[in-house]
Amino acid sequence: MSDRAILWLFLVVVPVCFFGIIIPAQAGDGKPVASIEVDSHNFGFAYEGEDVTHDFIVKNSGDAALEIKTVKTH
């Protein structure tokens, strides 16, 4: 490969590839915001071994993807 081709590669192709990957990632550079209207629920009396369920609705009010990694009870 000639010196001119190598120079062209580094001056044109490499920056296009680099910025083509980096710039779209910065377009959605906001933060996720978890919003929960009701953050607790009283299940009342439940027998041992009885299954009780409740749906908590979590909304993402931010402008980036929200990833919930763990959920804990008190």
Whether residue 24 has pLDDT greater than 70: no
What number is the average pLDDT over the span 15-35? 65
How many Å separate Cα 44 from the centre of its chain? 35
For the chain, what percentages of helix, strand and coil (3-state, to nearest 5) are there?
Answer: 35, 10, 60
pLDDT for 59: 92
Of the two residues 1 and 42, the one the predictor is more confident about is 42
pTM of the model: 0.47
Of the two residues 51 and 29, the one the predictor is more confident about is 51
Domain ranges in the chain are 3-60
Of the two residues 56 and 12, the one the predictor is more confident about is 56
The answer to whether 65 touches 31, Cβ cutoff 8 Å, is no
Rg of the chain over all Cα atoms, to the nearest angstrom = 25
Alpha helices (runs of H) in the chain, residue ranges in sequence order:
3-8, 14-27
